[in-house]
Amino acid sequence: MTEAAIPPLAAPPAKPELALLARITPMPDAAAKAAFLASLTAPLKPTVVSFLNAHAFNLAERDAEFRANLMAADALFRDGVGVSAMLRLLGADAGLNMNGTDLIPEILRACRGRRVALAGTAEPWLSRAATELREQGQVIVQAIDGFQGLAATVNHLCACDADLFVLAMGMPRQEEVAAELAARLDRPAVILNGGAILDFIAGRFPRAPAIWRRLRLEWLYRLIHEPRRLWRRYILGGVVFAFHGARLRLLHGRLKPHAR
């Protein structure tokens, strides 16, 4: 399940953004998701799990290093309605919505008992997230802010003997740390790129009520509650993302997979 599940195209995508979309690992159903979660309880190598939402796509358009780190992830899941719409517009299977805010707690529950390291966010939210996770039965062996230099952050993480790393420094910082950490580790581990996940766990930011999530409007709920932080990402970024989708559809048509 950690390989890209979109069937290969008849020819390699000429555009980097098409290659990135083709790298997404769609999750077809609940059974496949359960199998993926089970696979993370006994990884065979350092395994990086990343997420592609509309904001990440826009950032990857102008940041080649970030795009390369996303492409190198062992599992790259689509996160949110925007990328789902773009995939469908281009004729690709969107699969289940595998957003990190829901999936990472599921991974932590599936891997309960493993040693967990946290990196990201600021105090007091980092300590509150660590406390909350310990109360849920997680074994937290390290919690650092994650905003030191790259080498210092990776050195701290490598030294803590964790089995599972939750990186929550935001894009593109966390993906850079994940790539370096995966290259440095000499043992199997799971590395999760979690964005604001520790802030959610700590209660810094509220989750949208279930009805908003069912209507796929969590982005709007977050915008209402954090307008100063998120207006540029969701309003301006949404327009840019829609432009990219329309441009790709106009110039390249539908992605046409062929049989393996």
Query: Does some domain include residue 210?
Result: yes
Give the range of the structural domain holding residue 57, as residue numbers without chain letter. 44-250
Determine the residue type at 156.
H
Q: Output 4 or 239, whichever has higher pLDDT.
A: 239
Give mean pLDDT, residues 180-192: 97
- For 24-145, where are the alpha helices, taking DSSP H only? 30-39, 54-62, 64-72, 81-89, 100-110, 125-135
pLDDT at residue 31 tops 50 = yes
Strand order in the sheet with 189-193: 75-78, 46-52, 189-193, 164-168, 115-120, 139-144
Residue 254, pLDDT score: 67
Query: Does some domain include residue 73?
Result: yes
pLDDT at residue 110 tops 90 = yes
Which residues have CB under 8 Å from 171's CB, separation 6+?
55, 56, 59, 66, 193, 195
The per-residue pLDDT for range 144-183, each reduced to its tens digit, is 998 889 999 999 999 999 999 999 999 999 999 999 999 9
Q: How many domains does the chain have?
A: 1
Query: Does some domain include residue 179?
Result: yes
The per-residue pLDDT for range 52-99, each reduced to its tens digit, is 999 999 999 999 999 999 999 999 999 989 999 999 889 888 899 999
pLDDT at residue 13 tops 60 = no
Reduced to 3 states, what is the DSSP secondary structure of residue 182?
Answer: helix
Give mean pLDDT, residues 251-260: 54
Q: Output 213 or 48, whichever has higher pLDDT.
A: 48
Residue 14, pLDDT score: 54
pLDDT at residue 253 tops 80 = no
- Which band of pLDDT confidence, cut at 50, 70 and 90, is reported for residue 136? very high
Query: Does some domain include residue 182?
Result: yes
Torsion angle (degrees, nearest 10) of CA 16, 74, 50, 6:
60
Query: Does some domain include residue 92?
Result: yes
Residue 255, pLDDT score: 61
pLDDT at residue 42 tops 50 = yes
pLDDT at residue 259 tops 50 = no
Query: Does some domain include residue 37?
Result: no
Query: Does some domain include residue 52?
Result: yes
The per-residue pLDDT for range 197-247, each reduced to its tens digit, is 999 999 998 888 888 888 888 888 888 988 888 888 888 888 998 888 888
Query: Does some domain include residue 25?
Result: no
What is the helix (H) or strand (E) element at residue 141, kind and residue range? strand 139-144
